[in-house]
Structure 1
Amino acid sequence: MGFLDSLKARLGPAKDKVSDLAQQHGDKIDHGLDRAARMVDQRTKGKYSDRIESGTGRAKEALDRLAHKDDGPGSPPTPPPPPPSGH
């Protein structure tokens, strides 16, 4: 077994644990992300609102993927988010 295979085998249970925690506490994490985004937006006086909103959205999408909210047994994997537009 190669190094990467060994590493993947050891990280598997940790990934499952993170997924379980994301499922159990997803609403609390969403609320925390929103609070942090508002605080940063206030402290920067709205200068980076678009970037803060984009980053918060991406973090929530990642949380959803971790929690496997849309994935049931036998369902296709969630498609990746669309590429950012603009800059």
Structure 2
Amino acid sequence: MGFMDKAKDAFGKHEDKAADAVDQHSDRIDDGIQRGTDLADERTGGKHGEHLDRGADQVRDRLDGLDGKDDDFPSVDRP
């Protein structure tokens, strides 16, 4: 069993807790994601802003889908 398999197993055991935490604290999580994105954009001189924004949206999307509902991050555009 490789590292990623162990990580998936460990996360799977706590997925419900993670989904509950995202439900309860999505505003704070969103703020942290945005601050991290802004800091990285500033440190790279704005060269990778588009990529950072896309990555931040993907993180929000994955966290939002933990509970099977897309309702925690309204800023994420849904198709």
TM-score (norm 1): 0.63
Displaced runs of 4 or more, over 4 A: 10-13
Aligned to 2:33: 33
Aligned to 2:60: 60
Q: Which runs of 5+ in 1 are unaligned?
A: 1-6, 72-80, 83-87
The residue type paired with residue 48 of structure 1 is H
Aligned to 2:23: 23
Q: Which runs of 5+ in 2 are unaligned?
A: 1-7, 72-77
| In 2: Cα distance, 1:28 partner to 1:65 partner | 17
Match of 2:14, SS state, is: helix
Query: Could you tell me the percent identity over the aligned residues?
Result: 36
Specify the structure having the higher radius of gyration (Cα).
1
Match of 1:53, SS state, is: helix
Q: RMSD of the alignment, in Å?
A: 2.7
Q: Larger % of helix: which?
A: 2
Give the C-alpha shift of residue 50 in structure 1.
Answer: 1.1
The residue type paired with residue 17 of structure 1 is K
| In 2: Cα distance, 1:29 partner to 1:68 partner | 18
Does the C-alpha gap of structure 1 residues 52 and 11 become closer, same or farther in structure 2, counting only changes over 3 Å?
closer
Matched, 1:47 2:56: no
Assess if the C-alpha contact under 8 Å between 1:19 and 1:66 holds in 2: yes
TM-score (norm 2): 0.68
Deviation digits for residues 8-36 of structure 1 (CA, Å, limit 9, x no counterpart): 6x865511111111101111000000000
